[in-house]
Structure 1
């Protein structure tokens, strides 16, 4: 599929001004002023008065919701794709928060996979605030090697809700 986005104010992240952008098979093929393109099934999109940027990356987002410290009423809902898209987020790393009981790692993995199927690029960190770490497979090492969505491990070090791991605990985790 090919798209010609006409008249967008383009940032890449430099300000390129008003440009046309040709996208072919989900790849940017050309950027320029007043592009003229003839392709079968070309769809032209009028982006006048719109801003076009690369997608943003959210490196720490509670995709399954957060909160809960103040009881069930303080829980926040899961994120939905439209919320991500509305602010330009196209890639993310999902994390678990303090609530590791009702918002489990399998739930986080499923949400990351669902968001990926919906069209954003999503990964996750294994564990949550606790030490020793909570994992999907029994160890951080196995999570990193066996679950391609897992990029790293999350533990809380300085937060008042932390398990307060020792320096040696953290060094052991890093190895």
Structure 2
């Protein structure tokens, strides 16, 4: 099967250029100008007026399977990813049961392979059931295919446990991917501690809840040499700490979520559970620090923290509703609209943070760039036409996002995974 993508503006080696792409079976065969002379093409995709990018990479999603499939499944979550232009994702292990053993882990990867329409890399937990102090068998879980180790959803509360985990991860050459949150400082909060929380009469989560545990972990990472990756950075203090740590040569990388770039707690004018997420939306000063951190290289990449919940779990008030926001289907378009069209980021920067940087850092050697011989994971985006986000178009079971109703540019026109069409707007 040969497919020709022609007339597109292609993101190639960090630059935008008019090129055609020839795909043979699951791999890119050639990239060049005017490849339409190749007569044996079976399928032609005209990308005139559209952006052709390497498939986006999201190292932080929640697919809820097994055990919580009323929220999401591998099938619906991966379809949502393809709808958003993502072709590779990293799935977190906060499922039921937690994949503590190679057998449970392999059962998850079997489902990922069978039902996923994108490439799904699977994290293993750091500790048994994610909330205990008992370490998993790092060596055995790496052998079973673990992408990294994460207790996402919970911080590792004990320094000694995290130190031992970092030593074990360093020995097997995989990253610790950390949710940084000191439970003793959370105070049963539901949003950022500050004037908005006070005005709404709800308990707040102080920024030191994140930054204090991060400071601890950075010292432990320095001592162990582990690759330490920080999930969903949200505070200006965290950005400053990571900037300092990189200057010291500590092997730290980090991600920021689209919602923390796009929103602050100033937008929470009523107790709307769709604005309840963990870490919470922070102050405007924090949001600006995150933007600055991306631009100066302190923050390495963007990852969605796609966290679907049922409608029932996101109803009611802020105090009883679940934490979490979806992101797979809205990330690129909302970021493109708010930042690229406004001249804050370049398109090349946004694509780098969502393709080549995560591929480089997580050693995804066959992803994140368009090169002859690599797997044909490709996203095509419509940058010219305005679109209103609606719940009806989402593939995810979760509709828990405040971005529904937003007018955006940059919706996905087509996503190809290993040369196969995983999503097409025309065929939806």
- Same fold flag (TM > 0.5): yes
The corresponding residue for 2:120 is 122
> Quick check: 1:151 aligned with 2:129?
no
Contact preservation (8 Å) 1:90, 1:121? yes
The corresponding residue for 1:71 is none
String of CA shifts for 1:89-128, please: whole Å, max 9, x gaps.
Answer: 111111123xx5x453277755544443444222211126
TM-score where L is the length of structure 2: 0.32
C-alpha spacing 1:116/1:123, structure 2 compared with 1 (3 Å) = same
Count of residues in correspondence between the two structures? 155
String of CA shifts for 1:120-144, please: whole Å, max 9, x gaps.
Answer: 2222111264233575xxx232111
List runs of 5+ in structure 2 lacking aligned partners: 169-428
Mapped partners of 2:113, 2:87: distance in 1 = 10
Shift of 1:58: 1.0
Give SS of 1:10's match.
Answer: strand
The corresponding residue for 2:63 is 63
Shift of 1:38: 2.9
Contact preservation (8 Å) 1:126, 1:134? no
- Match of residue 171, structure 1, among 163, 178, 196: 163
> Quick check: 1:104 aligned with 2:98?
yes
- Match of residue 94, structure 1, among 91, 94, 105: 91
The corresponding residue for 2:222 is none
Give SS of 2:82's match.
Answer: helix
Contact preservation (8 Å) 1:19, 1:31? yes
Mapped partners of 1:27, 1:51: distance in 2 = 19
Mapped partners of 2:90, 2:134: distance in 1 = 18
C-alpha spacing 1:113/1:56, structure 2 compared with 1 (3 Å) = farther
List runs of 5+ in structure 1 lacking aligned partners: 69-74
Give SS of 2:37's match.
Answer: coil
- Match of residue 77, structure 1, among 50, 67, 72: 72
Give SS of 1:29's match.
Answer: strand
C-alpha spacing 1:90/1:110, structure 2 compared with 1 (3 Å) = farther
Shift of 1:52: 1.0
Mapped partners of 2:111, 2:157: distance in 1 = 33
Runs of 4+ in 1 over 6 A off after TM superposition: none
C-alpha spacing 1:94/1:133, structure 2 compared with 1 (3 Å) = farther
C-alpha spacing 1:22/1:132, structure 2 compared with 1 (3 Å) = same
Shift of 1:152: 2.2
The structure whose residues are more often helix, as a share, is: 2
Mapped partners of 1:113, 1:46: distance in 2 = 35
Contact preservation (8 Å) 2:93, 2:151? no
Shift of 1:25: 2.5
Shift of 1:22: 0.9
What is the aligned-residue RMSD (CA, Å)? 3.0
TM-score where L is the length of structure 1: 0.70
Contact preservation (8 Å) 1:116, 1:122? yes
String of CA shifts for 1:143-166, please: whole Å, max 9, x gaps.
Answer: 112x12x1222136xx8x545122
